[in-house]
Amino acid sequence: MPEIIVKPSTLRELWVMLPELPAARRYLAGGTDIVTADNAGVEPSRCWVDISALPELGAIKETARALFIGSCVKISKIEASAAVRKWCPALTAAIPHFASPSLRNMATLGGNAANGSPCADGACALIAEGAFIFLALKGSKRRLLLKDFFLGPKKTALKKDEVILGFEIPKRRHAGAYFKLGPRAYFGISKAAVAVTAEISGGVIRRAAVALGSVAPVPLLAVKTGAWLAGRALSPGSAALAAALVKTEVAPITDARSEAGYRREMCGVLLERALNSLT
């Protein structure tokens, strides 16, 4: 643990205190990733800036066109939100697969994204939801599609000292699913995961997005598969064809958790199951 932990109470206070702090500093939200990394001697820092109490980052807000989930909202609070259940079905389906209940009381979507892991369940589901990520650095704010935020394993578009404000999900009525294959039913890091969202009317998919976890250097938006699904009838036949297509879009590797070939195959299986679960 670093020798200095500071806890600003507003964003304004944060920007004022930053120049006084050691250069080797990191933001602390739920701590579930950076505490374990620090304990293991990976990415040590001299200062943690605890942003968990910043009111600007701590709320779920609904406007006429979008749902905004603050970066430091605890996963368990998102789990309990009726608005999230209504507008983010893939994220809702992902949450039971997100770590364990006690970790969900600590962890946040901001941390899940900032960690830059290709296996992040929250990030993968949010990409399928078409989420934007909002970032702030002192006076300047910017917005990116979340799929463009991830640059590689542990690499994101975050600049030094930039804060994730939260995630905006456009309000569109859609169906969604999240299927994950881990070492056991719950509480494991995925070998492969698939998030799907689809606007369906009259048995036809009008628009679809497919995102995959743990099978590429970043949480991956399968652009071709999503585009192929648009305009197709939702049927076991189209699900099987989409499953064949998605296997050509992923780039899995063999590592401690699984093997490349198996992962690629499972992307198809999980997508087929996910599509067949939609109604």
Which parts of this chain interact with other proteins (CB under 8 A)? Answer: 1-3, 5, 7, 9, 31-32, 35-36, 39, 48, 50, 52, 74, 76, 96, 99-103, 105-106, 185-187
Return the biggest CA–CA distance within the chain. Answer: 61
Q: Which residue lies nearer to other proteins by CB, 114 or 211?
A: 114
- Closest separation between CB of residue 191 and other proteins, Å? 17
Shortest Cβ 2–other proteins spacing (Å): 8
Taken as a whole, the chain contains a residue count of 279
243 vs 179: CA distance, rounded Å:
13
Nearer to other proteins, 105 or 235 (CB): 105
Q: Which is nearer to other proteins, 64 or 82 (CB)?
A: 82
The type of residue at 162 is E
Nearer to other proteins, 76 or 235 (CB): 76
Residue 277 amino acid letter: S
Structure tokens at 108: 């946040």
Q: How far is the CB of 74 from other proteins (least distance, A)?
A: 8
The pairing of strands 47-50 and 4-6 is parallel
* Buried b or exposed e, range 243-262, using 16+ CB within 10 angstroms: bebbbebbebeeeebbeeee
Q: How far is the CB of 97 from other proteins (least distance, A)?
A: 10
